[in-house]
Amino acid sequence: MPLTLYNTLTRRPEPFVPGDYSRISFYTCGPTVYDDAHIGNFRSFLAADLLRRWLENPLCELAGETETERARRERHGRAVTHVMNITDVGHMTDDAEGGEAGEDRMAVAGRRIAEAKKAGKLPAGSDVNPSDPYQIAKFYERRFREDARQLGLKVSILAESDETLHPKATAHVAGMIEVIRRLIASGHAYVVGGAGSRVVYFRVQSFEPYGRLSGNLLSNLREGQGGRVSAANQAGKEHPADFLLWKEDASHIMKWASPWGEGYPGWHIECSVMSLRAMAATAAEAPNAATLALPDGQALIDVHSGGEDNIFPHHECEIAQSCCAFCAQPGLGSFARLWFHPRFLMVEGAKMSKSKGNFYVPRELCAPMEQGGKGLSWHALRLELISGHYRSQADFNLENVKRSALKIERWRDLVRLAMSVPSDTPWLGGTQRQSDFARAMNDDLNIWNALVAFEALLGPGTISLDAPKAAAAAPALPTAPWTHEQIAETLAAKPGTVAEWLAYVHRLDHVVGVIFVPGNAKVENDLGVWAGGLTPDAKVEALLRERRDARAAKDFKKSDQIRDQLAAMGYAIKDMAGGKVEVRRG
């Protein structure tokens, strides 16, 4: 069954057919780096990561593939160029006012950092000038990328060696100016105001399909967007829905010279330029915004993703300006072949809110409890955030993350056990699990059912090994899955063996991303085994020694008190043979 995905533009599931089967182009609207990204942001980013990983996988069948393309995919997988931008200018605090109302979010971040600095609440080692928007953006971008890599966001991992996969708005202003020139020249944009207060607006009435993505047709927008559009901002517009492309403002916190005066770009125009990087395998091959011309209404990219809050106005405006700038027949264009929008994340049945105390940032959730965090596992947090279907309103629960951590450790232990025996040890039964996984993922990315198949492959009783002591000598897990070629060779050479079973696990974990990852090692010392990526901690070790002495003296009350103390710190312990303990996050 070929991959079918829900397309927001057409409002129905449809077979996904790329422009080029050998390389899929994928663009994701990334973070505005004026604050730390929260788990709701990462739910959307990880849904895009899940789709990207599935498109790359040898099991992902696409409608219309030739036999040659199918054979190549089954052995090598499929190339995906995934780009996620970093917005570091032009995103205002009120998006509804055509993009120009309120103040730049970087200015808001500057005040927040100044307050934190004054209160001594900035992270250790941070030296950020709250008056310098570039330093502010760099500070939050670094934190975002650290969190993204810890959560297995592949685009952020690869961006460590190719910065162009995380393009920044401030580095693409020249391209934005060129696109705005083109839109003005073709009659799709216009300038209002005199020198010192010029504004360039996109003329929405020049793009007849405007509103097709969101359902917000021009006739419904005539009186402004939900009553939130001010009369002052509407005065110079031809239509209330016309949106900002450039604003002349010499007093703005970040500004550039342009034909329309010193100022800054609108938020929407940024992605039309940065998304061009996804059109080619390398930055050197990417088209030029000043000259790109596509026949008819040809799509620029295969997939465009973002949270459901991006549908309107952001993505609606992206379609309009991109088609009008680059397509020979703009009205036939869609910018992307597939529009992919994960839904919002709830937290224990409620909307996230700082006032409710349920507003979670990954680095805070995964920090040790003694440092004020929740002591959660990054890999368990990833599993929890990808587990719900992207078009359902998932409900986040801290206890579920803890259960996911235990599940992942069980999976890893089973893999370690399998790695400890001869690779030709007989074993049967993985083909059906792999097929079930693929069938679920091809059904609109049904990760819930896919994980059922994954867990069946790794569940109790799925692998029977006559090696009861093998786990004690189990080797360390690889920190990355086998290559697709290695998996294909193993499946062909060793059917019906443990090696085949391991190959299936490696293939599926290319998608799930929680077993063969950095930080999956168990560390052993004289006190015990540290699981789940934990490393020995001096405070915890001191308590474990105290507990060991108490047990030796048969002071079990004190031993239990220390166990409770460790639990309060976020650590769960399990006594092992020989007097050692297994330590993991609670």
CA atoms within 13 A on the CB side of 293: 3
Q: Return the SS3 of 264.
A: strand
User: Is pLDDT of 441 > 70?
Assistant: yes
Residues 321 and 305 in one domain: yes
| CB 107 within 8 Å of CB 99 | no
Residue 225 is predicted with a pLDDT of: 45
In a domain, 49, yes or no: yes
Give first-to-last CA distance, the chain, whole Å: 41
| CB 271 within 8 Å of CB 318 | yes
In a domain, 5, yes or no: no
Give counts: helices (H), strands (E), the chain: 19, 19
Distance CA 272, CA 292 (A): 12
Residue 439 is predicted with a pLDDT of: 98
In a domain, 10, yes or no: no
% pLDDT > 70, the chain: 93
The sign of the dihedral angle between the CA atoms of 346, 347, 351, 352 is negative
Mean pLDDT, residues 3-13: 98
In a domain, 105, yes or no: yes
Residues 260 and 366 in one domain: no
Residue 233 is predicted with a pLDDT of: 59
Specify the higher pLDDT residue, 27 or 538.
Answer: 27
- Label each residue of 502-551 as H, E or C: HHHHHHHHHHHCCCCCCCCCCEECCCEEECCCCCCCHHHHHHHHHHHHHH
Residues 560 and 415 in one domain: no
* 125 Cβ contact list (under 8 Å, min separation 6): none
Distance CA 246, CA 237 (A): 13
For the chain, how many structural domains are there in total? 3
Mean pLDDT, residues 73-96: 87
Residue 382 is predicted with a pLDDT of: 98
Give tens-digit pLDDT for 248-271.
998 888 999 999 999 999 999 999
Of the pLDDT bands very low, low, confident and very high (cuts 50, 70, 90), residue 117 is confident
Distance CA 213, CA 500 (A): 45
Of 162-176, 272-286, 557-571, the poorest mean pLDDT is in 557-571
Among residues 480, 512, 544, the one where a domain terminates is 512
Residue 140 is predicted with a pLDDT of: 94
Mean pLDDT, rounded, of the chain: 90
Among residues 470, 492, 512, the one where a domain terminates is 512
- 46 secondary structure, DSSP code: H
Residues 191 and 265 in one domain: yes
In a domain, 2, yes or no: no
In a domain, 3, yes or no: no
Residue matched to tokens 């990880």: 46
Give tens-digit pLDDT for 316-372.
999 999 999 999 999 999 999 999 999 999 998 999 887 788 899 999 999 988 788
Mean pLDDT, residues 139-143: 95
Residues 387 and 333 in one domain: no
Give tens-digit pLDDT for 271-304.
999 999 999 999 999 999 999 999 999 999 999 9
In a domain, 6, yes or no: no
Of the pLDDT bands very low, low, confident and very high (cuts 50, 70, 90), residue 39 is very high
Residues 54 and 192 in one domain: yes
Among residues 283, 305, 340, the one where a domain terminates is 340
Residue 221 is predicted with a pLDDT of: 73
Specify the higher pLDDT residue, 235 or 460.
Answer: 235
Residues 426 and 562 in one domain: no
Strands in 263-265's sheet, in edge-to-edge order, are: 189-192, 199-202, 243-248, 263-265
Residues 437 and 560 in one domain: no
Residues 416 and 555 in one domain: no
Of the pLDDT bands very low, low, confident and very high (cuts 50, 70, 90), residue 535 is confident
pTM of structure: 0.92
Alpha helix ranges (H) inside 395-531: 398-419, 430-442, 447-458, 484-493, 498-512
Residues 312 and 280 in one domain: yes
Q: Which domain holds residue 147?
A: 18-340
Residues 410 and 529 in one domain: no
User: Is pLDDT of 3 > 60?
Assistant: yes
Give tens-digit pLDDT for 481-512.
999 999 999 999 999 999 999 999 999 999 99
| Chain-centre distance for alpha carbon 190 | 36
Of the pLDDT bands very low, low, confident and very high (cuts 50, 70, 90), residue 467 is very low
Residue 541 is predicted with a pLDDT of: 83
- 367 secondary structure, DSSP code: S
The CATH number of the domain holding residue 49 is 3.40.50.620
Residues 302 and 402 in one domain: no
Give tens-digit pLDDT for 513-526.
999 999 877 777 88
In a domain, 537, yes or no: yes
CA atoms within 13 A on the CB side of 558: 13
Q: What is the DSSP string of 4-21?
A: EEEETTTTEEEE---S-T
Distance CA 279, CA 137 (A): 26
Of the pLDDT bands very low, low, confident and very high (cuts 50, 70, 90), residue 103 is confident
User: Is pLDDT of 229 > 60?
Assistant: no
User: Is pLDDT of 412 > 90?
Assistant: yes
List the beta bridge partners of residue 81: 25
